[in-house]
């Protein structure tokens, strides 16, 4: 009977990946945040794994996604923050001040504000941040992600990102 059920289950073969994601979630809840990148070709089940993980973890979640041929600066983050109370207002305020800042530190200040906002939102019960299709993200969005990644270890944030293999380089590595 077990083998018949396995054949019917559309989520067969992902138990190890799911277990690793749930362990990462436990670590984030304990204040050891991190980023996990699920890399693989189109259609292999990255988004499906993320969906099942969200259900299994039953924790607060926010998500954003990049879109092919839409390289609008920070679109990924705008979508993510739009789903959070006060997120859009905070980002628009930071972007407005960035437009008038003529020093290179303006972008870092905006990155810091977004990171602080997410870390605050993760208190006390943690927060799962889902970023889909990083291979289509603009450079500013990736810069913000790199900035956030550096601040994750002392947070209750778990960032789960998906991308195609060609984008999984440097600090972005598959699970």
Distance CA 156, CA 121 (A): 9
Residues 36, 175 contacting (CB under 8 angstroms) = yes
pLDDT at 7 over 60: no
pLDDT at 150 over 70: yes
Residues 38, 49 contacting (CB under 8 angstroms) = yes
Q: What is the pLDDT of residues 78-109, one digit of tens each?
A: 999 998 999 999 998 888 877 655 556 678 88
Q: 173 burial class (0-12, 13-18, 19+ CB within 10 angstroms)?
A: exposed
Distance CA 9, CA 102 (A): 56
Only one residue has tokens 């289950």, namely 9
What's the confidence (pLDDT) of residue 167? 58
Q: What is the pLDDT of residues 128-137, one digit of tens each?
A: 999 999 999 9
Q: Minimal CA–CA distance to 29: which of 160, 127, 148, 116?
A: 127
Taking the alpha carbons of 76, 40, 122, 85 in that order, is the dihedral positive or negative? positive
Helix residue spans in the chain (DSSP H): 2-8, 15-29, 46-57, 75-82, 87-100, 105-121, 139-151
Lowest mean pLDDT among 32-46, 84-98, 112-126: 84-98
* pLDDT, mean over the chain: 85
Distance CA 76, CA 159 (A): 13
pTM: 0.84
Supply the DSSP symbol for 12: T
SS3 84: coil
Q: Quick one: tokens of 51?
A: 């969906």
Percent of the chain with pLDDT over 90: 62
Q: What is the pLDDT of residues 54-77, one digit of tens each?
A: 999 988 999 999 988 766 889 999
Q: How confident is the model at residue 8 (pLDDT cuts 50, 70, 90)?
A: very low
Supply the DSSP symbol for 135: G
């Amino acid at each position: 009977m077990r083998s018949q059920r396995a054949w019917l289950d559309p989520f067969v073969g992902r138990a190890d990946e799911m277990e690793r994601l749930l362990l990462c979630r436990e670590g984030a809840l304990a204040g050891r945040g991190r980023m996990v990148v699920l890399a693989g070709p189109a259609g292999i089940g990255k988004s499906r794994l993320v969906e099942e993980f969200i259900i299994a973890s039953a924790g607060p979640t926010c998500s954003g996604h990049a879109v092919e041929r839409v390289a609008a600066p920070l679109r990924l983050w705008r979508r993510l923050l739009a789903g959070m109370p006060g997120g859009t207002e905070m980002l628009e305020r930071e972007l407005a001040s960035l437009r008038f800042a003529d020093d290179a530190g303006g972008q870092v200040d905006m990155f810091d504000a977004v990171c602080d906002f997410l870390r605050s939102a993760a208190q006390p019960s943690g927060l799962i941040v889902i970023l889909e299709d990083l291979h289509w993200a603009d450079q500013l969005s990736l810069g913000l992600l790199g900035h956030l990644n550096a601040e994750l270890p002392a947070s209750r944030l778990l960032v789960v990102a998906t991308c195609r293999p060609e984008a999984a380089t440097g600090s972005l590595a598959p699970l």
